[in-house]
Amino acid sequence: FGPVDVLVNNAAHTSNAARLWEADPDEWWRCVEVNLRGPFLCIRAVLPSMLERRAGRIINISSRSAGIASPGRSEYASSKAALVRLTDTLDAEAREFGVKVFAVHPGRVPTRASANFLASDVGRHWAEFAGATLQALEAPPERCAELCVLLASGEADGLSGRFLSIFDDVADL
């Protein structure tokens, strides 16, 4: 199909909800592998061609958990925070070659994984911790898709390196 012009890294994995000291180390690390190493490997696969062509866009789907405490989800929050840092570091490295890189908070999309988490003891505690914010963050997946299409179009290239949310007014930024 030709060279890759846009890469959207939409990896998301979490292990069983557990406090850090109760977490299974292998499950914890598996989450980091999926959420951080997976995007890293995909980026490495497409980046050489983007650099050569001096064009391309990479969109990493992160999470609000990247910037807030997420009790019972240390593996998820840590890996998504690292993905944001990978995003701005890659932007600093690849900007001169015309490659644009973004991280996106997609909102809380109701999925089976999020329902399972909220049904757990730790998840119920976290929901109490999050309070009304939890409802306000719920969003249909189309909203994230629309932001990704906007970023892929080049209309927001000036925001490369940023961690954007579906709740941001990108035109205003």
Residues taking part in catalysis: 76, 80
Give the closest residue to 39 by CA, choosing from 82, 77, 96, 1: 82
3-state DSSP of the chain: CCCCCEEEECCCCCCCCCCHHHCCHHHHHHHHHHHHHHHHHHHHHHHHHHHHHCCEEEEEECCHHHCCCCCCCHHHHHHHHHHHHHHHHHHHHHHHHCEEEEEEECCECCCHHHHHHHHCHHHHHHHHHHCHHHHHCECCHHHHHHHHHHHHHCCCHHHCCCEEECCCCCCCC
